[in-house]
Amino acid sequence: MEFPDLGKHCSEKTCKQLDFLPVKCDACKQDFCKDHFTYAAHKCPFAFQKDIQVPVCPLCNTPIPVKKGQIPDVVVSDHIDRDCDSHPGKKEKIFTYRCSKEGCKKKEMLQMACAQCHSNFCIQHRHPLDHSCRHGSRPTVKAG
């Protein structure tokens, strides 16, 4: 044998493969081959100290802290019910700007305020003549 000190044997009892690039487990500090370096593959007794997963809210993508002994699903559910910024049941209104013209019930996505009376109007009544604007100077010709 040319290099007797090169590499290490896998610490898994059923393997003992000579590996030239062994991986040291950060929990139990033993050397393992590529097939047994994960906590589950070598049944690491100290995995609970290192293998900590933080659940993420599926709605707002915020990491949710979970204390020892708590069930992650319950904690995430509580977060969704109380603290979550994204409310799936709450739908935001798009058409929020209602026309100020008497008798008109149209709503617009964008605010269209009259430059003279500063009231909000729909596209049809946005011009001062179309909503009978009483503020400022009145034009003599009706549009359109």
Which domains are present in the chain? 1-52 (4.10.1110.10), 54-83 (no CATH), 93-144 (4.10.1110.10)
Per the confidence metrics, is the pTM higher than 0.85?
A: no
Task: Give residue 11's pLDDT.
Answer: 93
Cα-Cα-Cα-Cα dihedral sign, residues 134, 104, 127, 94: positive
β-strands 97-98, 107-108: how paired?
antiparallel
Helix (DSSP H) and strand (DSSP E) numbers for the chain: 2, 6
Amino acid found at 26: D
What distances in angstroms separate CA 52 from CA 32, 55, 67, 73, 111, one per listed residue?
21, 10, 11, 15, 50
Low-confidence winner among 23-27, 50-54, 57-61 (lowest mean pLDDT): 50-54
Task: Give residue 88's pLDDT.
Answer: 59
